[in-house]
Amino acid sequence: MKKAYLLLADGWQAEGISVGAEGTVLGEVVFHTALTGYPEIFTDPSYWGQILVMTMPHIGNYGTAAEEWQHEKPMIRGLVVRHMSDFFSRAGRALGLLEYLRMHGIPAIAGIDTRALVRHVRQKGAQNALLTTEPLDDEKIARLQAFPSMAGAELASQVTTSKPYFVGEPGGMRIALLDFGVKKAIIDQLVQRGFYVGVFPAQTPYAELWAFEPSGYLLSNGPGDPAAMPYAIQTAREIIASGLPTLGICLGHQLLSLALGIPTYKLLYGHRGSNHPVKDLRTGRLFITSQNHGFAIDKAALLRRREVHLTHINLNDDTVEGFLHAELPVQGVQYHPEASPGPHDSHVIFDEFAENVRRYAAERISISP
């Protein structure tokens, strides 16, 4: 079996077995705590530029099938697992994970102590790493040391659609979706509620979005540092000023915050899992949520703003998980209400958004001359 090596920027390293494609990749090392749902996780564009560690020790036992993919190809840069299964239970309708990773050129390492690695990342923080199937040498170490930080990285333009496309029944009310790395499940949730969704590239000018004649806007999830996206922050300001119902998810939530003058910051190691408890402060209801983000909104700055209300908090660390504008139909949620992987507790966010869009559309019709 071919060896593989993992080296972190602070010098932590491990030797294991190659269970993916051959080669060398660099990216930010992060970890995910889900027990299931790896096909959805690996194809989430929010992971672009990252080497992913799975805390679940046994990965690959049910393969991967197209209906689970959130993008047409895997988005992770590299994968770290304790054990990769060479058997999977859905033969005939799924690909084996090892075959899938090799098909798409994704290096992966198995046979290392992922518990020790995760503890290290929790203590020292998410950081750049190098994963290779070739011996470590000075040239690779130099490449790792020179690799840019995720802080300040604009990555959405690397995963967005190259041109607009449209999903759903053309007769439905229209939602203009800015694609910063949108998951397929977000679009599915909108279509299931009867909307006709126009999916637009990340750098689409506001005038082009408006020309679609939408009844609402959605700013999607995606990778990278929101503060490094001035073009998107400006578009978010114009969307807010339109007065139409607007929902921001994950990166979209952070961009709306920045457009409102509320800063963001980089978390030590981020939130990535499908078991994060979130409390809705409006109702007292608790949700178990799916999350994938390395940046968050400044809670103290948000609380100083009278026109923006804190609506959701993370019960693990009291970080901001949602806000609502007091005067405008603008809402942001930090977690992933579409799930994929689950749980599905927070699908209600799409119900709220759909109701908001239809109510505002009805009001516009009733006051039109």
pLDDT tens for 216-243 read: 999 999 999 999 999 999 999 999 999 9
Domain contains 124:
yes
- What's the pLDDT at 366? 55
The size of the chain, in residues, is 369
Is there a single domain that holds both residue 216 and residue 121? no
Is there a single domain that holds both residue 196 and residue 62? no
Token digits of residue 271: 């939130």
Half-sphere exposure for 259 (CA within 13 Å, toward CB): 25
> 3-state secondary structure string, 211-265?
HCCCCEEEECCCCCCHHHCHHHHHHHHHHHHHCCCEEEECHHHHHHHHHCCCCEE
- What's the pLDDT at 89? 84
Distance, CA of 258 to CA of 255 (rounded, Å)? 5
Name every residue whose Cβ is closer than 8 Å to that of residue 132 and which is 6 or more positions away in sequence. Answer: 4, 5, 7, 23, 24, 25, 107, 140
Contact 312, 278 (CB under 8 A): yes
Domain contains 151:
no
Distance, CA of 100 to CA of 38 (rounded, Å)? 12
Average pLDDT over residues 311-319: 98
User: Shortest CA distance to 150 belongs to which of 78, 77, 224?
Assistant: 224
Average pLDDT, the chain: 96
Q: Please pick, among 28, 40, 321, 338, the residue that the annotation labels catalytic.
A: 338
Question: Which residue range(s) make up the domain with 58?
Answer: 3-146
Domain contains 298:
yes
Is there a single domain that holds both residue 203 and residue 337? yes
Residue tagged 């759909």 (tokens): 354
Average pLDDT over residues 263-271: 98
Report in angstroms the alpha-carbon separations of 261 from 153, 223, 300, 304, 307.
20, 21, 13, 11, 11
State the CATH number of the domain containing residue 44.
Answer: 3.50.30.20
Contact 97, 64 (CB under 8 A): yes
Q: Please pick, among 32, 68, 71, 250, the residue that the annotation labels catalytic.
A: 250
Per-position b or e across 189-212, b if 16+ CB within 10 A of its CB: bbbebebbbbbbbbebebeebeeb
Does the pLDDT of residue 342 top 80, yes or no? yes
Is there a single domain that holds both residue 313 and residue 212? yes
Band (369; pLDDT cuts 50, 70, 90): very low
User: Shortest CA distance to 129 belongs to which of 45, 28, 12, 244?
Assistant: 28
- What's the pLDDT at 90? 80
- What's the pLDDT at 88? 87
Average pLDDT over residues 176-196: 98
Is there a single domain that holds both residue 207 and residue 249? yes
Q: Is 347 a catalytic residue?
A: no
Is there a single domain that holds both residue 20 and residue 139? yes
Is there a single domain that holds both residue 59 and residue 179? no
Band (270; pLDDT cuts 50, 70, 90): very high
Contact 52, 230 (CB under 8 A): no
Domain contains 21:
yes
Contact 225, 258 (CB under 8 A): no
Q: What is the pTM of this model?
A: 0.96
Peptide bond into 135 cis (omega under 30): no
Name every residue whose Cβ is closer than 8 Å to that of residue 290 and which is 6 or more positions away in sequence. Answer: 34, 273, 274, 276, 335, 336, 339, 340, 341, 342, 343
Does the pLDDT of residue 332 top 80, yes or no? yes
Q: Is 336 a catalytic residue?
A: yes
Is there a single domain that holds both residue 168 and residue 262? yes
Is there a single domain that holds both residue 141 and residue 161? no
